[in-house]
Amino acid sequence: MLNSKVPFYDFQSINATCIYKNKGSVFINKACIYKNETCILSMQITEKKFTIGQKQVYS
């Protein structure tokens, strides 16, 4: 007699769960790409605030 507390899942339901998790991972990856693009955009704006060139230094 098998006394397992783990329920038996149909093969199709396991696949459906894996597909759902994969879609969730794709969503997380897209969110990370969006955050990276936002960070790059922010850095480009910040770089424009710095001037590159000669400045007179008073001593």
- pLDDT string in tens for the chain (59-residue length): 455 555 555 556 666 666 666 777 777 677 777 777 777 666 666 666 665 666 666 66
pLDDT at 1: 46
pLDDT at 5: 57
Whether 27 is in a domain gets the answer yes
Range of the domain at 33: 9-47
pLDDT at 31: 72
Whether 30 is in a domain gets the answer yes
Whether 37 is in a domain gets the answer yes
Domains held by the chain: number? 1
Record the tokens describing residue 47, joined without a space. 């770089």
pLDDT at 57: 64
Total number of residues shown for the chain: 59
Whether 14 is in a domain gets the answer yes
Whether 1 is in a domain gets the answer no
Which residue blocks in the chain are alpha helix, DSSP H?
11-49
Whether 42 is in a domain gets the answer yes
Whether 21 is in a domain gets the answer yes
d(CA 37, CA 33) in angstroms, rounded, equals 6
Whether 54 is in a domain gets the answer no
